């Protein structure tokens, strides 16, 4: 059977925490993304890398009709992510949330992905995701929830 879409490789956080995951191919691409091409020591380049990473994640999500098989796979990834989060394995949780999002793009799954980045010490990716979600047309309660999350990680804004 075909393999589910894989999330892009995130840039390394500025805090020096390591994000251990393998290089992951882009949807439809024949060669994997290289983590080193996304890492930079300058904050401006790091910000650009973060935006590119989130762009790729969002743009690669399934935008067509979703088969029941993909719904089932997405649900399985989501449940695996919840278990990993409960076990404090935030990297695995993040990867599973991203995989669920790629198959069945729901804003709540993207919020969960951002939450894992916060827990892993990479608030820049989380903030970028939160900002992208706030730009979408969402129910007011979800907008307020995301805005609150963003204020916690970026209190000056």
| H or E stretch covering 24 | none
DSSP lists the bridge partners of residue 25 as 32
Q: How far apart are CA 125 and CA 54, in angstroms?
A: 7
pLDDT digits (tens, 9 = 90+) for 90-128: 999 999 999 999 999 999 999 999 999 999 999 999 999
Q: What is the pTM of this model?
A: 0.72
pLDDT digits (tens, 9 = 90+) for 11-54: 554 443 333 333 333 333 332 232 222 333 345 556 888 899 99
Query: Can you give the length of the chain in residues?
Result: 157
């Amino acid at each position: 059977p075909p393999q589910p879409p894989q999330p892009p490789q995130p840039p390394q956080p500025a805090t020096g925490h390591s994000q251990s995951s393998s290089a992951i191919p882009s949807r439809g691409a024949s060669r994997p993304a290289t983590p080193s091409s996304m890492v930079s020591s300058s904050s401006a380049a790091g910000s650009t890398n973060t935006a590119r990473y989130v762009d790729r994640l969002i743009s690669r999500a399934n935008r067509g009709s979703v088969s029941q098989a993909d719904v089932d796979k997405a649900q399985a990834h989501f449940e695996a992510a919840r278990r990993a989060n409960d076990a404090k394995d935030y990297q695995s949780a993040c990867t599973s949330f991203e995989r669920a999002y790629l198959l069945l793009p729901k804003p709540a799954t993207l919020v969960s992905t951002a939450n894992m980045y916060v827990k892993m010490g990479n608030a820049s990716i989380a903030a970028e995701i939160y900002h992208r979600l706030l730009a979408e047309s969402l129910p007011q309660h979800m907008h307020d929830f995301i805005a609150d999350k963003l204020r916690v990680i970026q209190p000056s804004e």
